[in-house]
Amino acid sequence: MGTGNSQTRTGWVTVPDAQIYWEATGEPSGIPVLYLHGGPGGSLGQGGYRRWHDPSRFLTVGMDQRGCGKSVPTAQDDLGHLSANTTQALIEDIEAVRVHLGIEQWIVTGVSWGSTLALAYALEHPARVLGIALVAVTTSSRAEIQWITEDVGRIFPEAWTVFVSAAAAEPGERLVEAYARHLAGLDRDDARRAALAWDQWESTHISLDPNWHPGPLFGDERERMTFALLVTHYWANDGFLTNGRQIIPRIHQLNGIQGHLIHGRRDISGPVATAWALHQQWESSRLIIVEHEGHGGASSMVALTKAVQEIAANL
């Protein structure tokens, strides 16, 4: 299924329990570049990523991940299948899009959570990967989730106190687990309150980013609900990357694949320590620290464009 012209095509791929939206921009015979968006629970948005790579040389492919964006059904409308929305399912969805588009290999890129998914995909299907370029690097480890939901509260104690109160956690329950429970519960008014509290916390811990603008992360309630539901679902389950699936202990398996790790020095939500740890064990990787940026930004995207060009030049 697809619509559009030689420059831009869009469509959906049917997979178990969902239809995955995709779009392909640029030269159909060009070097394929996959873009994986952030979240979990984000989307391709307005499609700004399409401008990062020369359309006469590259075929840029984007997809809205399962349960969000233009993929259907939206997670909050399909709570019965929420447990099937896992990193492993997303990897299978990526493969379904690849096969549908007739792509043998591609350069894999991702931003924030998209970098976790890119690495998880590459570790499962290294033969399909020409190179990897990531911005705002994460691996969704327990330590990273602990930092962003609890430890960073030492920097924002006022907002964190409100965040803790709204969680109404049960004894022994992590904050992210409490939010996941509220957001996936049958009481949708309770879920809306949890989504708003989650949004307020997200908006707080990114507030030291040089590119930060005051205001909620999501103005649209449905987008806010989808994002909060999926991000807490994934984070409460350590990104579904446990029991030998953790990324950093396996990253040496990607030695020989070109990797570019682009990270802002001022990223307080996801400190550069993760990108550094990956770089130390991934011999064919390059670490690019953007000193003046936080969790992504214009300079990081310029670096991403250059990284893809370098990968392509070395093929």
- pLDDT confidence tier of residue 117, bands split at 50, 70 and 90: very high
User: Mind giving me the DSSP string for 81-105?
Assistant: GGGG--HHHHHHHHHHHHHHHT-S-
In whole angstroms, give the CA distance from residue 114 to residue 39.
Answer: 7
For the stretch 138-168, pLDDT in tens is 999 999 999 999 999 999 999 999 999 999 9
Mean predicted lDDT score pLDDT of the chain: 95
Among candidate residues 37, 53, 64, 112, the one labeled active-site is 112
Whether residue 270 contacts residue 295, with contact meaning beta carbons closer than 8 Å, is answered with: yes
Assign 3-state DSSP to the chain and report helix, strand, coil percentages, each to 5: 45, 20, 35
Average pLDDT for 259-265: 98
Q: What count of other Cβ atoms lies within 10 Å of the Cβ of residue 111?
A: 26
For the stretch 227-257, pLDDT in tens is 999 999 999 999 999 999 999 999 999 999 9
In whole angstroms, give the CA distance from residue 199 to residue 217.
Answer: 6
Question: Is the bond preceding 40 in cis, omega lying within 30 degrees of 0?
Answer: yes
Whether residue 303 contacts residue 136, with contact meaning beta carbons closer than 8 Å, is answered with: no
Q: What is the pLDDT of residue 5?
A: 40
Report the percentage of the chain scoring pLDDT > 90: 93
Active site residue 78: no
Has residue 3 got a pLDDT over 90? no
In whole angstroms, give the CA distance from residue 108 to residue 131.
Answer: 6
Average pLDDT for 35-50: 96
Among candidate residues 205, 233, 263, 295, the one labeled active-site is 295
Active site residue 267: yes
Q: Which residue has the tokens 């590119």?
A: 211
Tokens of 42: 């984000």
For the stretch 186-205, pLDDT in tens is 999 999 999 999 999 999 99
Average pLDDT for 87-91: 98
Average pLDDT for 47-76: 97
- Range name among 22-31, 212-221, 222-231 with the lowest pLDDT average: 212-221
Q: What count of other Cβ atoms lies within 10 Å of the Cβ of residue 253?
A: 14
Q: What is the pLDDT of residue 67?
A: 98
- pLDDT confidence tier of residue 210, bands split at 50, 70 and 90: confident
3-state secondary structure at position 58: strand
In whole angstroms, give the CA distance from residue 192 to residue 117.
Answer: 27
Tokens of 115: 């970098």
Question: H-helix or E-strand containing 285?
Answer: strand 285-290
Report the percentage of the chain scoring pLDDT > 70: 98
Average pLDDT for 104-123: 98
- Range name among 4-8, 56-60, 97-101, 207-211 with the lowest pLDDT average: 4-8
Has residue 77 got a pLDDT over 80? yes
Among candidate residues 53, 141, 267, 269, the one labeled active-site is 267
Has residue 17 got a pLDDT over 70? yes
Average pLDDT for 105-115: 98
